[in-house]
Structure 1
Amino acid sequence: MKSGSALLGALALTIFTACNSNSDSNADSSNTAVPSSSVQNLSYSIAAAYPHDTASFTQGLDFYNGHLYEGTGNLGKSKLMQVDLKSGQPVSAQNLAADLFGEGVTVLNDTVYQLTWQNKVVLAYTAKDMKKVKEFPINTEGWGIANDGKNLIVSDGSSNLYYYEPSTFRLLRTQGVTMDQMPINFLNELEFINGFIYANRWQTPYILKIDPNSGIVEAQLDFSELVSRVQAKIPNHDTGTEATLNGIAYDDSTKKIYITGKLWPELYEVQFQH
C-alpha cells in the first residue's frame, strides 16, 4: 500500500522470488514470504489490455453499476477517481487533503468508501457524483477494502481481515487468515468474487483466494510473468519498490475481472477459475 521508499526495512524482510507499497507496524514479520505450499495454483489468461495512467499510484480498484473507481496514494497526490476503462482517463476526480495518504476503495449501497493509510480515517462519498459525505474513525492502518454485499471487509497489512458495519463503521468481527495452517501477513488490496475474498499480497506478484468463513487460503495466482513484463516497460524503474501489482476489480454485471498495479501503463482484463 504505502510508498516503497518508506518501507526499506520491511522490504529487507520480504525476500521473495519475484503488492502495495506500505509501512507495516501491524504486520506479522514471522511470515513475510509465500512459502512452498499445498494450496491450489490457479492459472490465468489475459483477455484484454487497457491504458492505465502511469501517474496513478493505485491503491484501490472497484466496479459499481458499470463504472470503474480507482483510489490512489502518496501524500499530496492521493485521489478518488471514476475512470473510463477504454481510455484510462478520469471521468471525474476528487483530491484528498494533502496530509491524507489514500488507500483501498469499495462501493456499497451507492456509497464509495476510501481508506487512508495511517490517518486512522475512512472517507465516504456518494457514488454518483463523488461528493464526500462523511468520515469514520478506524483503529488500524488502512490498506485494502472490499464488501460482500452486506459488510465492509478491511485489511491492515497483518494476517487479519476486519468486518465493519457500513453505516457506522462499527467493528463486527476479526478473521485471521492462514495458509498451510500458518498466519499469512501483508494482506493488501481486496475484492470479493463469487463468495471468496481475493487479496493482493503486498510486494509480491501473488493474489490469494481466501475462504471468508474460515480465513483459509484455498488457492493462489502467480502473476510473476505479467509483473516482470509490465515493469520492463517502465524506464528507470527500481522494480523492488514502486510499480507493484495492486488492484483487483470485479464487474458483477459482466462477470469480468480486472487487475493493475501502481504506476502501471496498462490495466488487464483477466480470466481464471474462481
Structure 2
Amino acid sequence: MRTHSIRMPALVLSAALVFSGTAAAADIPVYRYTVVHTFPHDPQAFTEGLFYDGGFLYESTGEYMGSGVRKVRLDTGKVVQQLDTPAGYFGEGIILTGNRLLQLTWRDGVGFIYDRKTFAPMGTFRYPGEGWALTRDAKHLYLSDGTPTLRVLDPDTLAQTGTIEVTADGVPLRMINELEWVKGEIFANVWQTDRIARIDPKTGHVTGWIDLGGLVDHSRMADPVDDVLNGIAYDAAHDRLFVTGKRWPSVFEIRLKR
C-alpha cells in the first residue's frame, strides 16, 4: 500500500492506535526473534508482496513509477527476472497458483496474471475495493485490503468464496497488510507497525503477536514514515521465515522465541 500522504492524509498510524484497547491485551502471547541470517535486498524496492519458492524470493514492488514483479536470488539479492507492471497501476501483493503468478493493484480493482516461468502476461482478474496482499494454502487464496476482513478466493476461478473477520480479543484488527501462510496460520504485517499478527484462519482470532521492534533503525531510513516493515516469506521445506520492509537494505531470516 502507498504512503500515508496519499492513502490517509489525516492519520499517521502508530502501534498504540492499531493495538488500542484490548487488541493489545497481555493474554495474547508476544513473540520476539533471533536473526539467523541477513541477506541483501534492493534498497529501492518498495516491497508490497513477498514469497519464497524453489530457492528464490518473488517480490512485488509498488508506487506508480516503480511497480513490478521480480524473481530474486536470496543469497545475493540479484534480480534474475523482472517485469514492470502496466503503466498507471500501483502494484500490490503477489502469489503463485498453478502455473500463474497473480499480482494485485491498489485501488483499481484489477489484478494481473503472468506465466510463472516466463512472466509473460496471461490476462487480468477483477475484485471489488482495494487490494493489498495475497497468500494461499493448499485449497484457498487469501486477500487483504487494509480492513479487518480477509477475503477467501477460489485458486482456479479467483472468485470470492468467503471471508474471515480478524479480531484480537474481540477487537477488529485494522490495517492488515502483507500475508504469508505459515504452518496452518496466516502471518500478517500490520501497516506502519513493527508487529506481525498470527491469525487462526478458522476463527479469525489473533493468537499471537510477533514483535520485530529493533530489527532496523528507522531513523536511518530515507523516509521513516513509509519505509516500514512489509514482507513475509516462508520456506516450508527448510522451516525458514524471512522478513523485510519497503526499501530496506536487507532481508532477515528470523527464528521466533518467547
- Shorter-chain TM-score category? over 0.9
After superposition, the Cα gap between the structure-2 partners of 1:251 and 1:8, relative to the gap in structure 1 and judged at 3 Å, is same
Partner of 2:5: 5
* Preserved CA contact (<8 Å) 2:55 2:74: no
Partner of 1:16: 15
Partners in 2 of 1:16 and 1:33 — Cα distance? 6
Partner of 2:255: 271
Question: Is 1:68 aligned to 2:54, yes or no?
Answer: no
Question: Is 1:82 aligned to 2:71, yes or no?
Answer: yes
Partners in 2 of 1:254 and 1:36 — Cα distance? 32
Deviations 1:33-53 (A, max 9, x none): 354312011121110001111
**One-letter amino acid of the counterpart of residue 245, structure 2:** G
Long gaps (5+) in structure 1: 18-30
Secondary structure, aligned partner of 2:215: helix
Partner of 2:241: 257
Partners in 2 of 1:33 and 1:164 — Cα distance? 28
Secondary structure, aligned partner of 1:5: helix
RMSD: 1.7
Q: Which has the higher strand share?
A: 2
Deviations 1:180-201 (A, max 9, x none): 1111110000000100000000
Partners in 2 of 1:48 and 1:3 — Cα distance? 29
* Preserved CA contact (<8 Å) 1:199 1:207: yes
The TM-score, its normalising length taken from structure 1, stands at 0.88
After superposition, the Cα gap between the structure-2 partners of 1:160 and 1:61, relative to the gap in structure 1 and judged at 3 Å, is same
Shift of residue 10 of structure 1? Answer: 5.2
Shift of residue 273 of structure 1? Answer: 5.7
Partners in 2 of 1:71 and 1:79 — Cα distance? 6
Shift of residue 8 of structure 1? Answer: 4.7
Partner of 2:100: 111
Which of 112, 115, 121 matches 1:123? 112
Question: Number of matched residues?
Answer: 255
Partners in 1 of 2:244 and 2:14 — Cα distance? 22
Partners in 1 of 2:10 and 2:236 — Cα distance? 35
Secondary structure, aligned partner of 1:42: strand
Shift of residue 65 of structure 1? Answer: 2.3
Partner of 2:134: 145
Question: Is 1:32 aligned to 2:18, yes or no?
Answer: yes
Deviations 1:216-255 (A, max 9, x none): 000001112114x2x2443xx342x211000000112222
**One-letter amino acid of the counterpart of residue 16, structure 1:** A
Long gaps (5+) in structure 2: none
Partner of 2:153: 164
After superposition, the Cα gap between the structure-2 partners of 1:10 and 1:190, relative to the gap in structure 1 and judged at 3 Å, is farther
Partners in 2 of 1:53 and 1:72 — Cα distance? 11
The TM-score, its normalising length taken from structure 2, stands at 0.93
The percentage of aligned residue pairs carrying the same residue is 34
* Preserved CA contact (<8 Å) 2:32 2:212: no
Question: Is 1:100 aligned to 2:84, yes or no?
Answer: no
Partner of 1:191: 180
Secondary structure, aligned partner of 1:263: coil
Partners in 1 of 2:187 and 2:145 — Cα distance? 15
